[in-house]
Amino acid sequence: MNVNREELLQILKKNLKNENLIKHSIAVEVIMRSLAERFGEDPEEWGVAGLLHDIDLDKTRKIPKFHGVMGAEMLKKMGFSESIVHAVKAHNPETHTPRETLLDKALYSADPMSGLITACALVKGKKLSNVDEQFVLKRFKEKRFASGANREQISACKDFGLSLEEFVKIALNSMKSIAKEIGL
């Protein structure tokens, strides 16, 4: 399916009304693009999976086990690739969908990583430029800091071949490259 980024953003904004959730989606998109580059995979495809992974969230907030399942159905109907559809379904552990591909595994960990890094920026004057890798790694260990950013999911980066340090570096640098777009 060939859709340009402007159209992808329109699809996202049509389905998600919360501005912070759109910024979160854009953050996961850029992390996924960087991870794809790191692994010699397709940054376009991985970026789409990141950008649209929460597309059903306005509809599934009250029924968490449907989150990802409904999103996958929506994306399938729109004609996105089976790899994207599967990764979106598998990113929510509550769907009990096995994470099979590198893309599945990367999306599962990139999602909470974007939350952790965003929380780091928020306590540093809302500026990503004030955040370095050591700061993120330190906060990672504080379980009560950004407790919604699931540490086990982030640590699962080892399942796609990255140490936590490498993953933080890639994710932080990628988010810094689009800091303005996400208001950080």
Would you tell me which residues interact with Fe ion (CB under 5 A)? 54, 111
Determine the Cα angle at 80 with ends 47 and 111, to 5°. Answer: 35
* Cα–Cα distance for residue pair 73/82, rounded to 1 Å: 11
Whichever of 40 and 148 has its CB closer to Fe ion, that residue is 148
Euclidean distance between the first and the last CA atom of the chain, given in angstroms as a whole number? 31
* Cα–Cα distance for residue pair 161/115, rounded to 1 Å: 21
CB of 129 to Fe ion, least distance (A): 24
CB of 21 to Fe ion, least distance (A): 8
Record the tokens describing residue 168, joined without a space.
């933080």
Determine the Cα angle at 152 with ends 148 and 153, to 5°. Answer: 75
Whichever of 29 and 54 has its CB closer to Fe ion, that residue is 54
CB of 27 to Fe ion, least distance (A): 9
99 φ/ψ sector (left φ>0, alpha ψ -120 to 50, else beta): beta
Whichever of 81 and 153 has its CB closer to Fe ion, that residue is 153
CB of 134 to Fe ion, least distance (A): 25
Whichever of 93 and 132 has its CB closer to Fe ion, that residue is 93
